[in-house]
Structure 1
Amino acid sequence: MSTHVQGDSIKLLTFNLWGLKYVSKQRHERIAAFARKLRSQPDYDVVALQEIWTDEDWKSIVDLCQDVYPYTRRYSSGILTGPGLAILSKVPIKRTFLYRFPVNGTPAAFYRGDWYVGKSVAVTLLEPLYEGASPVAVLNSHMHAPYALTGSSAYACVRACQAWDIASVAQTYSEAGYAVILVGDLNSRPGSLPYRIMQSEAGLTDSWEEIHGLTDADKLRQMSPEDQIKLGGATCDSTLNTWRADRGPDEACRLDYALIDNTRLRALDASVQFTEKIPGVGSYSDHFAYSATFKVLAKSNMLPSRPPKSERLQIYQELTDLVAEYLSSRNSWQSRLLLLHFWLSVFVFIAFLAVIVVVSFLAPWASILFLFFGGLVLATGLLSGQIGFLFCRSERRAMTEIILQVADAARLLQDR
């Protein structure tokens, strides 16, 4: 099979493959079917993946597709696992880089796992398609998930901070002359603050909207499930997805993107892919894939256009207010609650020691139980103390840094 990319265009696929070990349903069958289709229909020049969290899954994809996609990279840095980001390419990979988000949820939410996988943005620099072409930088990311539409479980502040970091990385590569393509499951709806930050600060445009026009959330909710995909670009929570069939028809949304620098790239086509079902299994993932084709323009010193000053300043204020409110409420009370648990556990353990001394004379066997439960209380308290003292301080400093960076950007903008 030919792996050579011809001409001045590049076709990209981004897909969250839902590859959680022990959790994702029929993971082996789904990912094997995806790899087989990718090999048999090698239409894409670059494939950016999210939620590839096991060595076994990645190896199965690479082994099957290596003659089609000779250039591959899976990103590794994380705590318990890597960030689940990977790329397959027909275009030679020149250099790679991984930026882990300093703000990424909390280790106390171990049942959610975002903090433990080390959510990041993975940068893959590709060789130019032709002499004089703008070199392409693919930024692949999977931002912190929302577990509710509102409240602390929405993690809106966390994603806003991550969007600021992504925009900073994208802006750096754009100013260096790269044609930036930001792809992935960004867990942010069109028009949300993270979405606007990435567009405003990095100067990126939404490839879907370049082809299909602005997304109207109200109209999207009223469309049929088929039109939500075809006309609205819905990649998540569609009732046509077998793993999300229990969702309401109005919950379908667009979370998977390719945001581009339109001074060096021109969107030619955009569509939702992998919407069909695997016989006897179901949908390929709990998301649908997103594909876009771009014409890579010649090298240019032009920088992407930005929104008006007033709009950017408004975004800065929204971000600053959101972070400040988070620090004064959630970060503050979480730290106090965790440290309170620590001191209470120390007090209880000391009290248990006194009880053990008395009980050892009356019922020696019972002292073992008190020692066990006292040790358990102390262990959980020590863990809470570490999170409250170390993590909460680290998060506060990381978010304070975001506020300072936003202030710097606002000051520069106002002085112009």
Structure 2
Amino acid sequence: MSSHYRRSGLRKIGTTLIKCFSSGMISGPGLALLSRFPIVETFIYRYPVNGRPSAFYRGDWYVGKSAAVTVLEPPSGPHIALINSHMHAPYALTGDAAYACHRAAQAWDLAGVARRLERQGYAVVLVGDLNSRPGSLPYRILSNEGQLHDSWELLHGPSDPLEVAKMSPQDQVDLAATTCDSTINTWRAQRAPTEACRLDYALIGGAKLTPVDAGVVFTERIPDVGSYSDHFAYTATFEMEDKPEAIKEVARKRRPTTTESTIDATTYETSTLLTVYDDARALILEYLDTTSRHQKTYRFYHFVVSIILFVIFIPVIIVVSYQAPWASVIFFIVGCVVTVTGVIDGLISFLFGRNEQRALREILMQIGDRERYEKSVAN
């Protein structure tokens, strides 16, 4: 292997290039690519809103969740911009542990990246564990704001979650492409069958690519180990369209339809988009007014109290050291713990808290900009 490949994070096995992406401060985002096509260029976009450093036991903030972009050169047709991402995990369906605001913010950034790449003429494909169910706000942001199309639904149509919940575990995989929380998966065997869901995707932007096949793979088990991962893998095969007439026809067929004959496609698209903007804005504002403010305020007060206790502990330790030396050691240890944790919380409040709030306010401004433009075009 040449030093050039090692320095660029590339490895080559036969005709296959393996690209690993680096981000975060511990293990990295876990994003990689295997390609037989030449790699033209790569870059990685690290999400500015990505969990909290205090949730060290979850790790999302420390691994630097990102969107990795690789531009590939196929034998014919336009270059392919492959976006690989792993969005923030949900640790509950509702509440603060769901991290719904974080995934919505990441989806907004991801939609912007995909939209800009598509406008530059690339055939865009977004793949990865997006930790978002079909119909969720992040999914709708990617579909409407990012103009990305779900390869599975293009082939098989949308699935009714209530019907999927009634299917057998095998049918959930085969007919609904559920990749997560399947009872067939040994890492999720204790889950209820109704929890199985689809979180892994191959979304395509524009009309240069057409899916011809899709499904779930790596469902078999490793002997004496179990399933390969807690998620099954999603696979999709595409055909490349390079003729302008064919591309226009594909784009026409993918435009959304409505049962209301009085509403044309453009009006329907704008209305749907404005609804997505309203939902995203409401979610971010709610997070800023509740969780973010609470976290920042609580940690600030913890910092102030710890400093006060530190000042109080100094004379206490001095006095106690003359009467009960071992007790002074205990006071010293407790004082150190209180002070260190307070200072850490203070840093999180001052630095991380402000950074997260500013990043979310920036997204709110971007939503406002897009909303004003869409309304002006509609009028």
- State the TM-score, normalizing by the size of structure 2: 0.90
Q: Which amino acid aligns with 1:311?
A: T
CA deviation vs aligned residue, 1:282-312 (integer Å, no higher than 9, x gap): 1111110000000011165968857611110
Task: Give the aligned partner of residue 328 of structure 1.
Answer: 289
Tell me which of the two structures has the higher relative contact order, counting C-alpha pairs closer than 8 angstroms and 6 or more residues apart. Answer: 1
2:163 maps to 1:219: yes
2:6 is the counterpart of 1:66:
no
Which one of the candidate residues 15, 20, 24 is aligned to 1:78? 24
Give CA deviations for 1:245-273 in whole Å, capped at 9, x if unaligned. 00001010000000012511001000100
Q: 2:103 and 2:189 mapped to 1: Cα distance?
A: 26
1:83 offset after TM fit, Å?
A: 1.0
Segments of structure 1 that go 5 or more residues without pairing to the other structure are 1-54
Partner of 1:162: 106
- How far, CA to CA, are the matches of 1:192 and 1:231 in structure 2? 20
Partner of 1:250: 194
Instruction: Give how far 1:344 is off.
Output: 1.1
- How far the C-alpha of 1:197 sits from its partner, in A, is 0.3
User: In the alignment, residue 140 of structure 2 is paired with which amino acid?
Assistant: R
Q: TM-score, normalised to structure 1's length? A: 0.82
> Of 40, 48, 53, which residue of structure 2 is paired with 1:94?
40
Residue 362 of structure 2: aligned partner? 401
Deviation at 1:68, TM superposition (A): 4.9
Q: Match for 1:244: what amino acid?
A: R
In the alignment of these two chains, the number of paired residues is 353
- Written as runs of structure 1 = structure 2, the 5 A alignment for 1:11-90 is 66-69=13-16, 71-90=17-36
Q: Deviations over 1:192-248 (max 9, x none)?
A: 000000010121110001111112111110000010000000000000001110000
Q: Which of 365, 388, 399 is residue 349 of structure 2 equivalent to?
A: 388
Match of 1:152 among 75, 96, 117: 96
More helix per residue: 2
Q: Which residue pairs with 2:145 in the alignment? A: 201
Counterpart of 1:15? none
Contact 1:134 1:299 in 2 (8 A): no
Q: How far apart are 1:366 and its partner, in Å?
A: 2.4
**1:141-179 deviation per Cα after TM superposition (whole angstroms, max 9, x unaligned):** 000000000000000010000000000000010000001
C-alpha deviation, 1:369, in angstroms: 2.2
Gaps of 5+ in 2: 1-5, 257-267
Alpha-carbon distance in 2 for matches of 1:134, 1:222: 42
Shift of the alpha carbon at 1:129?
2.7
Give the equivalent residue in structure 1 for 2:73: 127
- Do 1:257 and 1:290's aligned partners in 2 also have CA atoms closer than 8 Å? yes
Q: In structure 1, what residue type is equivalent to 2:349? A: G
In structure 2, C-alpha distance between the alignment counterparts of 1:129 and 1:210, rounded to whole Å? 25
Runs of 4+ in 1 over 2 A off after TM superposition: 299-307
Give the letter for the 1:116 counterpart.
Y
* RMSD (Å), alpha carbons: 1.8
What does the per-residue CA deviation read over 1:61-86, in whole Å, with 9 as the maximum and x for residues that have no partner? x98x81252x1210002122311100
1:354 is aligned to 2:354: no
2:235 and 2:75 map into 1 onto residues whose CA distance is 19
Percent of aligned positions that are identical: 53
